[in-house]
Structure 1
């Protein structure tokens, strides 16, 4: 039985993700993409700053969502 205390990072990245965090990961990717487009566009500095914040928030949401694990589904799969 795999628990939070004995799972490796590689196993964690390959394990099933709960539905809420799959949705959050998608939202994070979209935020990062929109922020990247804003930063790359020739806009006012304040708008570019907001775009940078969107990239950072999207990246953080995506990273955190990618390492969450649905341990019930993982243990049922074994």
Structure 2
């Protein structure tokens, strides 16, 4: 079994690159909304936080996907 750092340095399949990029966009959007200098309802801030976390997790997990060696 490959170590995580070795997997993250290998080429990532196209599908997972797309997932990674969408995750990065979600993280950015959620972070911008959560830290907006204007007054927003608490539910919007809460949802933005969840979106940012979900985007970060999707990006991190999709980065470890590699082509099968079989």
TM value normalised by structure 2: 0.88
The Cα of 1:71 is off from its aligned counterpart by 3.1
Deviations 1:4-33 (A, max 9, x none): x2x222211100101000000000000000
Which residue is 1:31 aligned to?
Answer: 26
Runs of 4+ in 1 over 2 A off after TM superposition: none
Segments of structure 1 that go 5 or more residues without pairing to the other structure are: none
Count of residues paired in the alignment: 68
For 1:37 and 1:8, the matched residues in 2 are separated by: 33
Which residue is 1:54 aligned to?
Answer: 51
Hey, which of these two has a bigger chunk of helix by percent? 1
Segments of structure 2 that go 5 or more residues without pairing to the other structure are: none
RMSD of Structure 2 on Structure 1 (CA): 1.5
TM value normalised by structure 1: 0.79
Greater Rg over alpha carbons, structure: 1
